[in-house]
Amino acid sequence: RKEVEQDPGPFNVPEGATVAFNCTYSNSASQSFFWYRQDCRKEPKLLMSVYSSGNEDGRFTAQLNRASQYISLLIRDSKLSDSATYLCVVRRNAGNMLTFGGGTRLMVKP
């Protein structure tokens, strides 16, 4: 079983739609969680950290469920520019290593 699992997609949604991605992780001792965004042929960039209480940044909402070991990302009012691959990332409990999921591809259509 992969340490971090994501549905690879693609998720094809119209502009203005709300879309949600889930991610599951296997190591119950994982401490920190993040969502990264990766545009085609570019490096990943931090989108947002995920806090236990859930957090929101504009149209983006991230939530963590430690009991079920999953993380979610909700995007409201999708824009064309949101088209990208979204990577779920988990920090191992030992050291500061990050483990990346395979990514979920989102395509927002006009």
Please tell me the distance from the alpha carbon of residue 109 to that of residue 100, in angstroms, as a whole number.
27
Binder among 13, 44, 69, 107 for other proteins (CB under 8 A): 44
9 binds other proteins (CB under 8 A): no
45 binds other proteins (CB under 8 A): yes
Cβ closer to other proteins: 63 or 85? Answer: 85
Q: How many CB atoms lie within 10 A of CB 74?
A: 15
- In 53-69, which positions are buried (b, 16+ CB within 10 angstroms) versus exposed (e)? eeeeeeebbbbbeeeee
11 binds other proteins (CB under 8 A): no
> What are the residues binding other proteins (CB under 8 A)?
32, 34, 36, 41-46, 49, 87, 89, 91, 96-103
